[in-house]
Copies of this chain bind each other. A is one copy, B any other.
Amino acid sequence: MNESEFSAHYDPTKFERPSVAVDVVLLSIDLTDSLCAVLVRRKEHPDKGAWALPGGFVRIDESLDAAAARILNEKAKLRRVFLEQLYTFGAVHRDPRTRVITVAHYALVDFRRLAASYAHVSDDLVVARLDVPWSGEAGGAVRTLDERAKPLRLAFDHARILGLAVKRIRGKLNYAPIGFELLPEAFTLFELQRVHQAVLGRKLNKDSFRRKILASGLIEPTGAAQTNVGHRPPALYHFLKEQGANHG
Protein backbone atom coordinates (compact mmCIF):
# COMPACT_ATOMS: atom_id res chain seq x y z
CA MET A 1 0.00 0.00 0.00
CA ASN A 2 1.62 3.30 -1.01
CA GLU A 3 0.88 6.68 0.44
CA SER A 4 -1.91 7.76 -1.92
CA GLU A 5 -3.65 4.40 -1.64
CA PHE A 6 -3.45 4.74 2.12
CA SER A 7 -4.92 8.25 2.07
CA ALA A 8 -7.82 7.00 0.00
CA HIS A 9 -8.36 4.17 2.43
CA TYR A 10 -8.26 6.33 5.57
CA ASP A 11 -11.77 6.92 6.89
CA PRO A 12 -11.98 9.89 9.24
CA THR A 13 -15.67 9.29 9.97
CA LYS A 14 -14.79 6.12 11.87
CA PHE A 15 -14.33 8.11 15.06
CA GLU A 16 -17.03 10.03 16.86
CA ARG A 17 -15.49 13.46 17.11
CA PRO A 18 -15.59 16.38 19.52
CA SER A 19 -16.34 19.83 18.14
CA VAL A 20 -13.43 22.27 18.25
CA ALA A 21 -14.01 25.89 19.18
CA VAL A 22 -11.82 28.92 19.86
CA ASP A 23 -12.44 31.39 22.68
CA VAL A 24 -10.58 34.69 22.98
CA VAL A 25 -9.76 36.48 26.23
CA LEU A 26 -9.44 40.06 25.00
CA LEU A 27 -7.67 42.03 27.72
CA SER A 28 -7.08 45.74 28.15
CA ILE A 29 -6.34 48.32 30.86
CA ASP A 30 -9.17 50.80 31.36
CA LEU A 31 -8.92 54.48 32.26
CA THR A 32 -8.93 53.66 35.98
CA ASP A 33 -5.89 51.39 35.51
CA SER A 34 -7.93 48.23 36.00
CA LEU A 35 -7.40 45.05 34.06
CA CYS A 36 -10.54 44.28 32.05
CA ALA A 37 -11.84 41.83 29.47
CA VAL A 38 -14.44 41.85 26.70
CA LEU A 39 -17.48 39.63 27.26
CA VAL A 40 -20.47 38.80 25.06
CA ARG A 41 -23.97 38.22 26.36
CA ARG A 42 -25.25 34.78 25.44
CA LYS A 43 -28.53 34.95 23.57
CA GLU A 44 -29.07 31.21 23.42
CA HIS A 45 -29.16 28.20 25.65
CA PRO A 46 -27.26 26.95 27.50
CA ASP A 47 -26.39 29.69 30.02
CA LYS A 48 -28.68 32.10 28.17
CA GLY A 49 -28.21 35.62 29.54
CA ALA A 50 -24.86 34.85 31.11
CA TRP A 51 -21.64 36.43 29.84
CA ALA A 52 -19.16 34.51 27.76
CA LEU A 53 -15.83 34.99 26.05
CA PRO A 54 -16.04 35.82 22.35
CA GLY A 55 -15.78 32.47 20.61
CA GLY A 56 -16.82 30.26 17.75
CA PHE A 57 -16.17 27.01 15.98
CA VAL A 58 -12.96 26.40 14.07
CA ARG A 59 -13.60 26.04 10.37
CA ILE A 60 -12.24 23.06 8.55
CA ASP A 61 -9.96 25.21 6.40
CA GLU A 62 -8.54 27.66 8.91
CA SER A 63 -5.77 27.32 11.50
CA LEU A 64 -6.43 27.92 15.18
CA ASP A 65 -4.75 31.31 15.13
CA ALA A 66 -6.73 32.29 12.05
CA ALA A 67 -9.95 31.26 13.78
CA ALA A 68 -9.06 33.37 16.82
CA ALA A 69 -8.21 36.36 14.64
CA ARG A 70 -11.48 35.96 12.74
CA ILE A 71 -13.49 35.86 15.97
CA LEU A 72 -11.71 38.96 17.22
CA ASN A 73 -12.61 40.75 14.03
CA GLU A 74 -16.21 39.51 13.93
CA LYS A 75 -17.04 40.22 17.58
CA ALA A 76 -14.87 43.22 18.45
CA LYS A 77 -13.97 44.65 15.04
CA LEU A 78 -10.30 44.45 15.89
CA ARG A 79 -7.47 43.46 13.61
CA ARG A 80 -3.72 43.22 14.10
CA VAL A 81 -3.69 42.89 17.86
CA PHE A 82 -1.32 40.79 19.92
CA LEU A 83 -2.86 37.32 19.97
CA GLU A 84 -1.47 34.08 21.39
CA GLN A 85 -2.73 30.65 22.24
CA LEU A 86 -3.40 30.15 25.95
CA TYR A 87 -4.58 26.61 26.77
CA THR A 88 -6.97 24.01 25.46
CA PHE A 89 -9.91 23.12 27.65
CA GLY A 90 -11.34 19.68 27.04
CA ALA A 91 -13.29 18.46 30.07
CA VAL A 92 -15.96 16.09 28.81
CA HIS A 93 -19.00 18.00 30.07
CA ARG A 94 -17.73 21.56 30.01
CA ASP A 95 -20.48 22.29 27.48
CA PRO A 96 -23.73 20.54 28.41
CA ARG A 97 -24.92 20.24 24.81
CA THR A 98 -22.22 18.12 23.31
CA ARG A 99 -18.49 17.54 23.49
CA VAL A 100 -16.78 20.85 22.73
CA ILE A 101 -13.03 21.27 23.08
CA THR A 102 -12.04 24.92 23.09
CA VAL A 103 -8.62 26.28 22.25
CA ALA A 104 -8.48 29.42 24.37
CA HIS A 105 -6.43 32.38 23.19
CA TYR A 106 -5.65 35.71 24.76
CA ALA A 107 -5.31 39.08 23.08
CA LEU A 108 -3.97 42.40 24.34
CA VAL A 109 -5.05 45.80 23.08
CA ASP A 110 -4.70 49.46 23.99
CA PHE A 111 -7.90 50.63 25.65
CA ARG A 112 -8.26 53.57 23.27
CA ARG A 113 -8.35 51.21 20.29
CA LEU A 114 -10.86 49.04 22.10
CA ALA A 115 -13.05 52.05 22.99
CA ALA A 116 -12.96 53.25 19.40
CA SER A 117 -14.13 49.93 17.99
CA TYR A 118 -16.52 49.46 20.90
CA ALA A 119 -18.75 52.26 19.58
CA HIS A 120 -19.37 50.28 16.42
CA VAL A 121 -20.32 46.94 17.91
CA SER A 122 -23.46 45.60 19.48
CA ASP A 123 -24.85 46.41 22.92
CA ASP A 124 -24.38 42.80 23.91
CA LEU A 125 -20.68 43.42 24.36
CA VAL A 126 -19.28 44.62 27.67
CA VAL A 127 -15.81 45.53 28.88
CA ALA A 128 -15.81 43.96 32.34
CA ARG A 129 -13.41 44.84 35.11
CA LEU A 130 -11.56 41.82 36.46
CA ASP A 131 -11.47 41.13 40.17
CA VAL A 132 -8.57 38.75 40.75
CA PRO A 133 -8.93 37.13 44.20
CA TRP A 134 -5.40 35.74 44.31
CA SER A 135 -1.95 37.26 44.26
CA GLY A 136 1.13 36.47 42.23
CA GLU A 137 0.77 33.49 39.96
CA ALA A 138 -1.28 31.40 42.34
CA GLY A 139 -4.01 31.03 39.72
CA GLY A 140 -7.71 30.29 39.96
CA ALA A 141 -10.94 31.75 38.67
CA VAL A 142 -11.49 35.51 38.46
CA ARG A 143 -14.66 37.52 38.97
CA THR A 144 -16.00 39.97 36.42
CA LEU A 145 -17.67 43.24 37.37
CA ASP A 146 -19.65 45.76 35.35
CA GLU A 147 -19.10 49.54 35.56
CA ARG A 148 -21.16 49.70 38.77
CA ALA A 149 -19.06 46.91 40.31
CA LYS A 150 -21.94 44.44 40.00
CA PRO A 151 -20.81 40.84 39.37
CA LEU A 152 -21.43 39.44 35.90
CA ARG A 153 -22.35 35.77 35.74
CA LEU A 154 -20.01 33.86 33.46
CA ALA A 155 -21.02 30.98 31.22
CA PHE A 156 -19.41 27.52 31.08
CA ASP A 157 -15.85 27.37 32.46
CA HIS A 158 -15.03 30.88 31.30
CA ALA A 159 -14.13 32.17 34.77
CA ARG A 160 -11.33 29.60 34.84
CA ILE A 161 -10.21 30.52 31.33
CA LEU A 162 -10.06 34.18 32.31
CA GLY A 163 -8.11 33.25 35.43
CA LEU A 164 -5.58 31.30 33.42
CA ALA A 165 -5.17 34.24 31.02
CA VAL A 166 -4.38 36.55 33.95
CA LYS A 167 -1.93 34.03 35.38
CA ARG A 168 -0.25 33.68 32.00
CA ILE A 169 0.27 37.38 31.34
CA ARG A 170 1.50 37.92 34.90
CA GLY A 171 4.17 35.34 34.29
CA LYS A 172 4.96 36.51 30.81
CA LEU A 173 5.35 40.14 31.84
CA ASN A 174 8.56 39.28 33.68
CA TYR A 175 10.44 38.12 30.62
CA ALA A 176 8.55 39.14 27.50
CA PRO A 177 7.72 42.57 26.10
CA ILE A 178 3.94 42.37 26.30
CA GLY A 179 3.19 45.49 28.37
CA PHE A 180 3.59 47.58 25.23
CA GLU A 181 0.69 45.75 23.61
CA LEU A 182 -1.63 47.38 26.14
CA LEU A 183 -0.42 50.90 25.37
CA PRO A 184 -0.61 53.31 22.44
CA GLU A 185 2.37 53.80 20.15
CA ALA A 186 3.97 56.47 22.39
CA PHE A 187 3.85 56.25 26.16
CA THR A 188 5.63 57.43 29.28
CA LEU A 189 7.59 55.21 31.63
CA PHE A 190 5.03 55.76 34.37
CA GLU A 191 2.17 54.72 32.06
CA LEU A 192 4.08 51.52 31.37
CA GLN A 193 4.57 51.04 35.09
CA ARG A 194 0.83 51.48 35.71
CA VAL A 195 0.13 48.82 33.06
CA HIS A 196 2.53 46.44 34.79
CA GLN A 197 0.90 47.20 38.13
CA ALA A 198 -2.59 46.58 36.74
CA VAL A 199 -1.53 43.25 35.31
CA LEU A 200 0.43 42.11 38.35
CA GLY A 201 -2.13 43.45 40.82
CA ARG A 202 0.49 45.11 43.01
CA LYS A 203 2.55 48.29 43.29
CA LEU A 204 6.03 48.33 41.83
CA ASN A 205 9.11 50.24 42.92
CA LYS A 206 9.39 53.24 40.64
CA ASP A 207 13.19 53.51 40.65
CA SER A 208 13.98 49.93 39.90
CA PHE A 209 11.18 49.74 37.34
CA ARG A 210 12.73 52.64 35.43
CA ARG A 211 16.19 51.14 35.62
CA LYS A 212 15.09 47.70 34.52
CA ILE A 213 13.02 48.92 31.59
CA LEU A 214 15.64 51.37 30.37
CA ALA A 215 18.37 48.74 30.75
CA SER A 216 16.33 46.24 28.72
CA GLY A 217 16.95 48.21 25.54
CA LEU A 218 13.41 47.48 24.36
CA ILE A 219 12.27 51.08 24.30
CA GLU A 220 13.64 54.32 22.93
CA PRO A 221 12.70 57.95 23.58
CA THR A 222 10.67 59.45 20.74
CA GLY A 223 12.19 62.86 21.51
CA ALA A 224 8.76 64.29 22.27
CA ALA A 225 7.23 64.79 25.71
CA GLN A 226 3.75 65.04 27.16
CA THR A 227 2.27 68.54 27.47
CA ASN A 228 -0.36 70.19 29.67
CA VAL A 229 0.16 67.86 32.56
CA GLY A 230 0.58 70.41 35.37
CA HIS A 231 4.10 69.32 36.20
CA ARG A 232 7.39 68.53 34.56
CA PRO A 233 6.45 66.75 31.33
CA PRO A 234 7.63 63.14 31.09
CA ALA A 235 9.48 61.95 28.02
CA LEU A 236 7.59 59.77 25.57
CA TYR A 237 9.01 56.40 24.56
CA HIS A 238 8.15 53.88 21.92
CA PHE A 239 8.71 50.16 21.71
CA LEU A 240 11.52 49.07 19.41
CA LYS A 241 11.27 46.30 16.84
CA GLU A 242 9.34 43.11 17.45
CA GLN A 243 11.36 39.95 17.27
CA GLY A 244 8.71 37.56 18.58
CA ALA A 245 8.14 34.23 16.82
CA ASN A 246 4.77 32.56 17.35
CA HIS A 247 3.76 28.93 17.33
CA GLY A 248 0.76 27.09 15.93
Contact = CB atoms under 8 A, between A and B. Distances in A.
B16 A12 contact: no
Contact of A63 (B16, B87, B92): B92
Contacts of A108: none
A42 B100 CA distance: 29
Contacts of A46: 3, 6-7
Interface residues of A, number: 47
Nearest to A103: B88
A64 B90 contact: yes
Interface stretch (A30-38, A54-62, A146-154, A196-204): A54-62
A98 B3 contact: no
Contact of A7 (B63, B97, B171): B97
A248 B91 contact: yes
A222 interface: no
A227 interface: no
Copies in the complex: 2
Contacts of A2: 45
Interface stretch (A17-25, A123-131, A230-238): A17-25
Contact of A97 (B12, B58, B88, B101): B12
12 contacts: A3-B46, A6-B44, A6-B45, A7-B46, A10-B98, A12-B98, A15-B57, A16-B60, A20-B101, A87-B247, A89-B247, A101-B103
A45 B7 contact: yes
A237 B58 CA distance: 48
Interface string A60-77: 111111000000000000
A1 B90 contact: no
Given A10-B98, A103-B88, A247-B164, A60 B19 contact: no
Given A19-B17, A96-B7, A247-B164, A87 B85 contact: yes
A24 to B, nearest CB: 14
Contacts of A65: 90
Interface in A129-145: 139
Contacts of A248: 87-91
Contacts of A139: 245
